[in-house]
Structure 1
Amino acid sequence: MSTTNIIAKITEIFDTNIEFEENFFKTEIIRGIEHTIIKGKLTYIPSYCEHCGEENEAYSIVKNGNQVVDILIGQFNSKPVILRLIKQRFYCKHCKRTFMAQTSLVEKNCSISTKVKSCINIELSENVSHKHISATYSVSMATVQRVLRSNDFKTNKHWLPEVLGIDEFKSLKSVDANMSVIICDVQTGDIIDIIPDRRKRYLREYLERFSKEARSMVKYITTDMYQTYIDLGKELFPNAQIVIDKFHIVQLFTRSMQKLRINVMNDFNTRSKKYKKLKRYWKVLLKKEFNLNGVEFYKYIHYSKLTNTNEILIDLLKISDRLAAGHSLYQEFLYIIHSSDVKGFENFLDKY
């Protein structure tokens, strides 16, 4: 096997226009870091001029010296590997301009191979800091950020899914109220885009970029109770029904139950047993009643006898009729949600 084939297999460089020297490995200190250096030469007969497009006929394009470039191609034995490549320069007699030989190993006017950039991209998909990636692949922080920016994708403005999900999440301090908006295909879970601002004028401006045909494709919009999402859904999506996410409805009822408990608790002295019980066993009031323990008995604070969470709930509800009434409504709601009873939920809304 030739030297070129050996190096090609080791380094995974399969450009047939590159030939390697016999003494293919040597080490060199560059910016205080030990590198492995591989020397090679890139040359071929070009079929046309890169500038004027003139075909290479009757030796209209000739060799015109060379240029040495260092290309970072990866790591070997925990050392950065550099391909020191002698690139052939060509001269076009037609336009009287020169151009360099090119290889698929690296982009034009770049000194970092596409393979290294692919590895950086994989690292960027994980929960790893830019500083760590920079140190691992012996590149600058600026290079890591450039690779990240090169991944910007364009959203198809002529398509939207039938079930569109809209929700916000905690984002950077630089955006309004530290919140950004994510829109996704609920059926597949695919993220369509992330919008850095959730204020109404910015959201309207963004959503109006989608064509009317795309917005007409949407049949359902699942969201929370943020009024901006509901208003824009009705205004911009003519065929869509607004569906409040079940999670946010449960969250609303849970917060209301918590607020009721705190109001009742504040009617008592902070040193009283009733106050302390309501403060300590708040989770018992929020749990599904059918999940509470009514069989096994344990020692609980503020209770002299062995008891269980079911008996604690009964004791807490005796403290206030208002608390008992609110808890009864809350448990009825939780049971309907747990059993996915759509008709029962409609009756629940009509009843209360």
Structure 2
Amino acid sequence: MKNCTLDLLGIKDSRLQFDPKYKNKVTTDDFYNHRKARFIHLLQSYPCFCPVCGKKMKRNGFKTVEMVGLPSGGLTNIFSIRKQKYLCPSSAACPKTITKLAEVQDVKANARISQAVKYQAVSKLGQNISQKYIATDFCISSMTVMRFAQGVSTYLKPNQHYLPQNIAFDDFKSGNFSQSGMSIIVMDIATHRTLDIVRSRQNTYLRSYFLQYDRQARWAVQTVTVDLYSPYRAFIHDVFPNALIIADRFHVITQAYRALNQVRIQAMKQAGHGSHNSRALKHYWKLLTKDSAHLDFKHYHKSRNFRNLQLCEQDIVERLLAMSADLRLAYNYYQTLLQAVHQGNPALLEELTQSAAGLPDPVKKTNRTLRKHRQEIKNSFETTFSNGPIEGTNNKIKTIKKTAYGFRNFENFRLRILVELKNSYVSLNFHSA
């Protein structure tokens, strides 16, 4: 029964036993932050031999220490341990008096928190819980939780002798940690494993970061998937000379999507506030951004903006395009780009970007961007790689920042992200250790 109770309390040291000095082995009292704690009185005493002469040491009284253990039953367990003190008097074999204190398994010397608490606190960081709540659960401070997490820093160092053949990176808002306010996620896009979090997206910083990797590792990279941010191109060609740049298809379509919305808003302003055309363009804006191949042409419904006429989605879109010639041009450009990307048709993309004569100004600007990155967009047609997994990770990072109410230290911020991401190499290495 005694061993079962100690095992349930998370005590692994078989030499620990309930202290016979105390009639009530368990007491409760206020301990930390006015929380009730359960005090469990234990005794640690065993035969100890001198590390110098090898003789059995004399018992020399006790020293009582308190150690925080795992909580149970809604209370924090505090182990009040009477540790045996040992003494080996000076003799011919021992020139100096040797003293020792009984040790507890899984607790470091001079530590007051059990290893079980440390492991549980670090594992809780893998969930979407703030450090403050984790600290409250284990009756420790929030900085102690982060200090425990920093113990896994050996797993956070990237392997500078290896890079995957297919990588991708994208920026995300990180706050004041960098001058631009943006940091970078680096990912193995083939396996969706997060490689690292880089502080800044500036070219000089990114170049110095990737140059830490061996030349063979960098030259082994075959593809780099990125968005259409132009400054990335120069350093990618220098750092990864053998890599093929792949433009992310989502960002390609987003260019035309934004241009179409700008033209639609211009048409609304030209029609005048509160006019029939303005209300219709505002109400049915989602139909304009929908793939024309997916527009419903079978089901008819009453349309308030068109005098309650029975119309299908295709009819509504046709009426909207009739309100503005520029809107029709922007819509046709957007739909043609969607078709080229979805079908992976380089000839159609080439034809679309050849000339921008007569197009509205926002679409002309988009066309210049797509023409500049035309070869990279064609490269995306030949692979299934995209920045979709990174965009999902970005959303996860937003949740982490919101839960923590922000971070003031980038290393702690990076640590929390990599520990919480289940698909990171850090997580894999830590759990397999």
- The alignment's TM-score, normalised by the length of structure 1, stands at 0.87
Match of 2:136 in 1: 135
Contact 1:176–1:198 under 8 Å retained in 2: no
> Are residues 127 and 284 of structure 1, via their aligned partners in 2, closer, same or farther at CA, if it must alter by over 3 Å?
same
Give 1:219's aligned amino acid.
Answer: Q
Answer with 298-307 or 232-241: which moved more. Answer: 298-307
Contact 1:7–1:24 under 8 Å retained in 2: no
Give 1:75's aligned amino acid.
Answer: P
> Are residues 324 and 346 of structure 1, via their aligned partners in 2, closer, same or farther at CA, if it must alter by over 3 Å?
closer
Match of 1:186 in 2: 189
Q: 1:14 aligns with which of 12, 15, 20?
A: 12
> Are residues 294 and 27 of structure 1, via their aligned partners in 2, closer, same or farther at CA, if it must alter by over 3 Å?
same
Q: Deviations over 1:222-275 (max 9, x none)?
A: 111112322221111121111111111111121122222233333333343223
Match of 2:66 in 1: 70
> Are residues 97 and 233 of structure 1, via their aligned partners in 2, closer, same or farther at CA, if it must alter by over 3 Å?
farther
Q: Which runs of 5+ in 1 are unaligned?
A: none
> Are residues 348 and 119 of structure 1, via their aligned partners in 2, closer, same or farther at CA, if it must alter by over 3 Å?
farther
In the TM superposition, residue 73 of structure 1 has moved relative to its aligned partner by 1.0
Give 1:309's aligned amino acid.
Answer: E
Match of 1:325 in 2: 329
Q: Which has the higher helix share?
A: 2
Contact 1:175–1:197 under 8 Å retained in 2: yes
Q: Which runs of 5+ in 2 are unaligned?
A: 89-93, 356-433
Q: Deviations over 1:290-335 (max 9, x none)?
A: 2122222222232112222211111122223332222122112212
Contact 1:166–1:229 under 8 Å retained in 2: no
Match of 2:277 in 1: 274
SS in 2 for 1:75: coil
> Are residues 94 and 257 of structure 1, via their aligned partners in 2, closer, same or farther at CA, if it must alter by over 3 Å?
farther
Q: Determine if the alignment matches structure 1 residue 115 to structure 2 residue 112.
A: no
- Tell me the distance in 2 between the aligned counterparts of 1:160 and 1:14: 41
- Tell me the distance in 1 between the aligned counterparts of 2:223 and 2:165: 6
> Are residues 101 and 235 of structure 1, via their aligned partners in 2, closer, same or farther at CA, if it must alter by over 3 Å?
farther
> Are residues 33 and 262 of structure 1, via their aligned partners in 2, closer, same or farther at CA, if it must alter by over 3 Å?
closer
- Tell me the distance in 2 between the aligned counterparts of 1:21 and 1:6: 16
**Number of residues paired by the alignment?**
343
Give 2:303's aligned amino acid.
Answer: Y
- Tell me the distance in 1 between the aligned counterparts of 2:180 and 2:111: 40
- The alignment's TM-score, normalised by the length of structure 2, stands at 0.72
Contact 1:7–1:20 under 8 Å retained in 2: no
Mapping for residues 278-289 of structure 1, pairs under 5 Å: 278-289=281-292
Q: Determine if the alignment matches structure 1 residue 223 to structure 2 residue 226.
A: yes
Q: Determine if the alignment matches structure 1 residue 57 to structure 2 residue 58.
A: no
Mapping for residues 16-95 of structure 1, pairs under 5 Å: 16-22=14-20, 23-31=24-32, 32-44=34-46, 49=51, 54=52, 56-59=53-56, 64-90=60-86, 93=94
Give 1:147's aligned amino acid.
Answer: F
In the TM superposition, residue 186 of structure 1 has moved relative to its aligned partner by 0.6
Give 2:325's aligned amino acid.
Answer: D
CA-atom RMSD, angstroms? 2.6
In the TM superposition, residue 36 of structure 1 has moved relative to its aligned partner by 1.4
- Tell me the distance in 1 between the aligned counterparts of 2:147 and 2:348: 52
> Are residues 45 and 175 of structure 1, via their aligned partners in 2, closer, same or farther at CA, if it must alter by over 3 Å?
farther
Using CA pairs under 8 Å that are at least 6 residues apart, name the structure with larger relative contact order, 1 or 2.
Answer: 2
SS in 1 for 2:237: helix
Contact 1:155–1:193 under 8 Å retained in 2: yes
